[in-house]
Amino acid sequence: MKNWRIPLLAGTLVGLLFLLGFLASPVRKQIQSVESFHLPGKLRGIGPGCAGCHFNVKFALDGPAASLLSKGVHSMRQELLEHPFFTTASEDCVGCHSGVHDSWQQSAHGRSFTNPIFQHAFKRDRKAWCLNCHAPLWDPDTMDPEAIASTPDMKSRYAEGVNCSVCHIRDGAIVGPNDYSGKENELFHPVTFDPGLRSESFCAGCHQFNFVQELEPFVIYADDAVMQNTVQEFLQHQKTMPANSKGCVDCHFEPDHNLASNNGDPRPALTLKLQMRPVSDSQGKMNNDQGPGPTERVEKRKRIELEANRARKRIEVEANREQKQLAPEVNRGTNHAALEANQKRHELQAPMNRKPTPDGSSEQNRSESQQKFHYNLDWTIEMENLGHHYPTGDLFRILTLYAFDKSDREIYRYDFRKEVRVIDRAIVRDTTLKPEGGSYRAFRSDSALLQTKPVRCELVYRLQGSIEPRIAPHFQPGILRKVLYSGPCKVDPKSF
């Protein structure tokens, strides 16, 4: 083989691998989720799809900052975060940005690694995939996920979670969403303008991904089964809004980097209304306040008369038997025995002597039923400033409305949740709150007919919903359950 053929073949092979790497992106469909782009799983499984990930966001003009966010496929590459004057530690920023730093520390981004729910899950799963989003500054070349799970160093760089450098340092430059052109002399350090920091594609780098198909040797996502769908929910709703409507950053970030969503606490945007009213059986309001119709009353009357005739025959048989047992004493002139026999016959026949009422019940039964009530629990929940479903993100999150009786026994429950079947990842039901088209308002109301009087209602945000009973012993009170309201089941519209 001639010498010139070797470089030619090598170049052709490299070009082919590059093309396959571009096409085999496990996240291409998710980044541009509104497109109908589809590739077979085998093609996606050829490689980690580096080019497909990063070239896709470059071509979409999402800016340099988005190019390192991989939906958990890999961690942040340390060499791309190097800066001539600053390290990746947040303490390098606190001198000038103390307020922003303090707000960030208390936010979900600042606690993405240290929060107890993640720590519990990571100690169980021990996967690099978990760290790639929750601790993106970990270094897979020098660190082991097993060791981090067993003995995490809470003072290390990775323990800072999604810190300043994760979003704001790229290729030796500090990037930001504001354009400081003409104001460079007012800045302590140069800032590269990157409008992509405000785009939903930037947030999708961590908050939009499918179920994992393979974790080793690298992460490959399933083609169609969405695991966390927050950004796609927002994009679908945005189609109903006017042009230049709010984006993710407009709602979720205050100027000091405080997350306006309050770490998932919906109370600032939530309004709850509860009304409880008794419903009498005798008034025929057992079924949405509507009594039985004429046909139902006739049929009920016939059934009662038939049962009454059968009961009358049984009573006559029993009375005759009692009479025969008492006959010897009656014949001997024992007045007491005769009176007892007559009284017994009267007691047995008394129910048959009662006149039935038009609705088919006897007068005595009607009187007794007037003392028994069922209860309608009417509730309304309204949420403002909502651009996606709620709850969203983690599928374990559930918003639940409870009602309890005087014995503190649960008598009613309504779950706002998305439920996915594990075996095939199909959506079983989706009762999450959803913003109405053309607005940022979600509204839901319902009415429940209860057998027992509700004396206490609760609205609870359950962060680990369906698995909560199993893992609750590992957590302090208030971590897994955020009680948003607890009180009487009759409350006028209440904002929290």
192-193 and 173-176 beta bridge pairing: parallel
Q: Cα(first)–Cα(last) distance of the chain, in Å?
A: 79
Confidence of residue 317 (pLDDT cuts 50, 70, 90): low
User: Tokens 């490959």 identify what position?
Assistant: 220
What pLDDT is attached to residue 305?
64
State what percent of residues in the chain have pLDDT above 70.
Answer: 67
In angstroms and rounded to an integer, the radius of gyration of the C-alpha atoms of the chain is 35
Mean pLDDT of 290-310: 55
What pLDDT is attached to residue 301?
57
Cα separation, 69 vs 74, whole angstroms? 8
Sign of CA dihedral 116, 119, 120, 121: positive
pLDDT single digits (tens) 204-245: 999 999 999 888 877 888 888 899 999 999 999 999 999 888
Q: Who's near 253: CB < 8 A, 6+ residues apart? A: 259, 260
pTM value is 0.70
Mean pLDDT of the chain: 77
Cα separation, 419 vs 81, whole angstroms? 39
Cα separation, 137 vs 131, whole angstroms? 9
Cα separation, 431 vs 419, whole angstroms? 9
What pLDDT is attached to residue 131?
95
Higher-pLDDT residue of 100 and 27 is: 100
Contact 199, 205 (CB under 8 A): no
Contact 21, 52 (CB under 8 A): yes
Contact 27, 53 (CB under 8 A): yes
User: Tokens 């996967």 identify what position?
Assistant: 127
Q: Who's near 163: CB < 8 A, 6+ residues apart? A: 88, 89, 90, 104, 109, 110, 137
Cα separation, 202 vs 66, whole angstroms? 5
Q: Which residues are paired to 220 by β-bridges?
A: 214
Confidence of residue 302 (pLDDT cuts 50, 70, 90): low
Contact 33, 208 (CB under 8 A): yes
pLDDT single digits (tens) 424-452: 889 999 999 999 999 999 999 999 999 99
**CATH fit for domain 268-280+373-495, picks 2.40.10, 3.30.160, 1.10.150, 2.60.40:** 2.60.40
What pLDDT is attached to residue 457?
96
Mean pLDDT of 286-294: 42
What pLDDT is attached to residue 273?
93
Kindly report the backbone phi and psi dihedral angles of residue 259, in degrees, each rounded to the nearest multiple of 5, phi listed first: -75, 115
What pLDDT is attached to residue 69?
80
Higher-pLDDT residue of 430 and 338 is: 430
What pLDDT is attached to residue 204?
92
Is 123's pLDDT higher than 90? Answer: yes
Confidence of residue 7 (pLDDT cuts 50, 70, 90): confident
